[in-house]
Amino acid sequence: MDKYYMMLGILLVFIGICGIIIRKNLITMLVATEIMLNGANVSLVAVSHFLGKVDSQVMSIIILTVAASEVAIGLGLIVSIFRLRGYEASEEITELRD
């Protein structure tokens, strides 16, 4: 049973990567990042269920926390970029300075 959850977790991670590669809009790219993180969490919890210890759940909590803060920062960055450039497509933001 846990094997299958692990496989699910791996699949979710790859779906997330796929999402990053595909999307052009920065916001939706971040969403795909979240999908990746969640996939990792699933894998970790599956491991914890298998081992019978809660240690990997601790790691999962921390990942959760960090994911939240990362979202905050990321979106703040996107807002700044938008304010600066007026657009937020990854195609057009290719150079560090004009």
Partner 1 sequence: MEFLAFGTISIVAIISAFMAIFVKSPIHVMVWFLVFILSVASSFFALGADLLAGLQLVIYAVAIVVFYVLVITTIPWEKVKMFEGFYLKELIMALPAFLFTIGSAFYLTFNAKLSNMRVPLPKDNVSALGTVLFTKYIAPFELASFILLIAMIGAIIFGKEKANG
Partner 2 sequence: MPSLILLFPLLSFIIIGLFGKRLGDFTSGVINATAGILSFLVALLTMLNLKTPEDIIFYKFLPISNTSIDMGIYIDRLSITTTVTVTFVASVIFVYAIGYMRYLFGNWTFKFFAYFSLFLFSMLLILLGDSLVLMFFGWEGVGLASYLLIGYFHEEKFATKASLEAFVMNRIGDWSFILGIIYTFWLFGSVSLPKLFESASYVPGITMATLLLFGGAVGKSGQLPLHTWLPNAMAGPTPVSALLHAATMVAAGVYMVARLYPIFSLSSTTLTYITITGILTMLFAALVATVHDDIKKIIAFSTMSQLAIMFTALGMGFPTAAMFHLTTHAFFKALLFLGAGAVITGLHHHTQNIFEMGGLKKYMPITFIAFMTGAFALSGFPPFAGYFSKDAIVSSVMDKSTLVATVILITSLLTAYYITREAFVVFLGNAHYHEEPHEVEPIMSFPMLILSFLSLTGGFLLWSYFSYLNSDIESPMSFVLHSFYGILVAVIGISVSYALYVKKLIDPNTLYELFKPIHKLMKSQFYTEYLYHNIISKGYLAVSKLIYKIVDRIMIDGFVNGLAKIFMVLVRFVWEFMDIRFIDIIIHKLVIWTFSFSRKLKVIQSGYLNQYIFVILLGIVIILGLIVKGMRL
CB of 96 to partner 1, least distance (A): 18
Task: Name the residue nearer to partner 1 (CB basis): 84 or 96.
Answer: 84
Q: Which residues contact partner 2 by CB under 8 A? A: 17, 20-24, 26, 29, 90-91, 93-95
Q: How far apart are CA 56 and CA 51, in angstroms?
A: 9
Look at residue 92 and give its three-state secondary structure: coil
Residue 85 binding partner per list partner 2, partner 1, none, with a CB distance cut-off of 5 to 8 Å that depends on partner kind: none
Between the alpha carbon of residue 75 and those of residues 19, 38, 49, 72, the distances in Å are 17, 18, 34, 5
Q: Which residues contact partner 1 by CB under 8 A? A: 1-8, 10-12, 14-19, 21-25, 27-28, 30-32, 34-35, 38, 41-42, 45-46, 48-55, 57-58, 60-62, 64-73, 75-80, 82-83, 86-89, 91
* Burial (Cβ within 10 Å: 0-12, 13-18, ≥19) of residue 43: buried
